[in-house]
Amino acid sequence: MKAAVFYGKVKIILEEHEYKKPGGDEVLIKVKAAGICGTDMHIYDGAKGASECYPPVVLGHEFAGIVTEVGADVTDIKAGDHVTVDPSIVCNECYECLSGKTAEHFIVL
């Protein structure tokens, strides 16, 4: 698969990457549409952005696609479902995380 990998201030390289089969509670999504937001632009320009970023990394958190494979433990989504994702990294320790106020999983469209 192709990935636009951020290596540092104003340096993004389009690369070919292998992908792994989804683990037990994971899904594989074929991205069909993606957006670029202000956070991505700030990081590209060398600023911190809204969250920590440690290159090399694929930026972008506004995307949607189609599930192509599901892990053995996934029961509420199937291949062919259309989804959007919030891939924010969460701590699972603060009040917001513990009260379920994060979107760490996919949302079915």
Closest CA to 103 of 85, 83, 91: 85
Paired strand residues for 107: 84
pTM of the model: 0.71
Spell out the domain ranges in the chain.
2-108
Q: Which of 17, 39, 68, 84 is catalytic?
A: 39
To the query of whether residue 42 is one of the catalytic residues in this protein, the response is yes
DSSP labels for 30-43? EEEEEE--HHHHHH
Give me the pLDDT at residue 20, please: 85
CATH topology of domain 2-108: Quinone Oxidoreductase; Chain A, domain 1 (3.90.180)
Paired strand residues for 45: none
At position 87, the amino acid (one-letter code) is P
Q: Which of 42, 61, 68, 84 is catalytic?
A: 42
Q: Spell out the per-residue pLDDT of the chain, length 109, in tens.
A: 888 899 999 999 999 988 888 989 889 999 998 888 888 888 899 888 766 778 998 887 788 999 999 999 989 889 999 998 766 666 778 776 777 655 544 444 3
- CB distance 80 to 28 below 8 Å: no
Helix (H, G, I), strand (E, B) or coil at 59: coil
To the query of whether residue 17 is one of the catalytic residues in this protein, the response is no
Give me the pLDDT at residue 5, please: 92
